[in-house]
Amino acid sequence: RVLSQRLQEVLSEDELFVIEHLFFKGYKPQDIIHDFPERFVNIDHIYQIRQNALHRLRNDPVIRDLVCPQEPSSDHRDPLIDSPPDRRQKPRGPDSLKVEMDQEQKEPGLMGTPCTLDEQILLDYAAGRLSAEQRLLVEANPDCVAQAQRLAAEIAAIEASLYRLQCLDVDTLHAYYYRELEATQHLIVHRHVEDCRFCQEELALLRVMDETPLIEPSPFEPVRQVVEAILQPALALQLRGQTLIYAALEVLLTLTVRRTKQGVPQWTVIGELKMPDGAPSDQPVEQVVASITNEQTIPADIDEDGVFVIRDLPPGTYRLTVYTPDKEIVIRSLQLGND
């Protein structure tokens, strides 16, 4: 809300219009030209307005504090953030700055020369919109390349904050999935979902949950709901190594895979259930089995904290099933040793 109010205070009417349609409504520049031909001259006009708007936001102290409050700086040239691997924006400026310059090709006279190019040229360079001759002019001075990289990092930070704001709330995503939205609203949401992998993952999980049948009640056995666990990207959860995260209904299933023998390769799988916020699960694990065929199943050892271990698994693709009092959580394809 604070960011939205500040956008209205800082940006002009055209700049606010372009920013809202690009970052909040999921439009592409060509879509804006197509839908509002009377307002903008051409697609270059859209890019120019976008760059001017991002330039204003980058230099606004309130916006900079919202993007990175832990690193306030009086010098707006300092990068706002260190580009975390899970930021929610499409790859832009920094990717276009991977310029390989051999030391022999650098002109010795420019090595310590400050950059005198206009900031707008550096922004166009960061966006990849300069001609080959203009790019050579920028790349001839290492200080110009460094300044362009800093500008690109700052703009990417602003775009990351704007991009996070456009994701849908649970009710809207649910209504979109069940086609309960009006035609215009459905189209706007559809354009966003096409470009947002996070909303796509939520929809995929919703689709699996919607299509998974429940176990028929039995008077002799406890009723368990069958849910499928979906693999989540490790980078989105800030995890490294061989830890795998699977999301199921109201729980996360974490697995750590280790190779236990070098000669004849065998694998050990260690896992536990957690709440979506990372806290220990309130559902006790009753049984865990891994099966490579319908006939062969391997049970897990479960300790008092609910951590389970399956040892000495040969390479292959397994079906892993975790039983709790009311759920049967299924990983349909767990591959071991297929690297």
8, part of any domain = yes
Residues 92 and 234 occupy one common structural domain: no
Per-residue model confidence (pLDDT) at position 90: 44
The residue segments making up the domain with residue 57 are: 2-165
71, part of any domain = yes
At residue 296 the predicted structure's pLDDT band, cuts being 50, 70 and 90, is confident
At residue 48 the predicted structure's pLDDT band, cuts being 50, 70 and 90, is confident
Highest mean pLDDT among 103-107, 159-163, 193-197: 193-197
Residues 155 and 203 occupy one common structural domain: no
- Nearest CA to 46 out of 59, 27, 65 is that of 27
Residues 238 and 294 occupy one common structural domain: yes
Per-residue model confidence (pLDDT) at position 77: 45
Q: How many residues belong to the chain?
A: 339
What is the SS3 assignment for 104?
A: helix
pTM, rounded to two decimals: 0.35
61, part of any domain = yes
Q: What residue type is assigned to position 139 of the chain?
A: E
Residues 62 and 159 occupy one common structural domain: yes
Per-residue model confidence (pLDDT) at position 122: 86
Torsion of the alpha carbons at 93, 98, 30 and 181, rounded to the nearest 10: -60
C-alpha separations of 176 from 27, 88, 199, 250 in Å = 18, 21, 11, 21
Select from 149, 165, 181 the last residue of a domain: 165
Residues 12 and 135 occupy one common structural domain: yes
The tokens of 268 are what?
Answer: 């050990």
Strands 316-323 and 287-291, sheet pairing: antiparallel
C-alpha separations of 78 from 113, 161, 193, 224, 333 in Å = 19, 17, 33, 55, 46
242, part of any domain = yes
Distance CA 115, CA 233 (A): 40
315, part of any domain = yes
- Nearest CA to 209 out of 232, 196, 223, 225 is that of 225
Q: What does the pLDDT average to over 105-128?
A: 72
Residues 207 and 242 occupy one common structural domain: no
- Quote the DSSP letter at residue 220: S
217, part of any domain = no
47, part of any domain = yes
15, part of any domain = yes
Is 157 in contact with 65 (CB distance < 8 Å)?
A: no
Residues 22 and 148 occupy one common structural domain: yes
Mean pLDDT of the chain: 75
Number of domains in the chain: 3
Residues 36 and 136 occupy one common structural domain: yes
Residues 65 and 141 occupy one common structural domain: yes
Residues 105 and 186 occupy one common structural domain: no
Residues 156 and 68 occupy one common structural domain: yes
Q: Give the list of residues 6+ apart from residue 335 with CB closer than 8 angstroms, or none.
A: 316, 317, 318
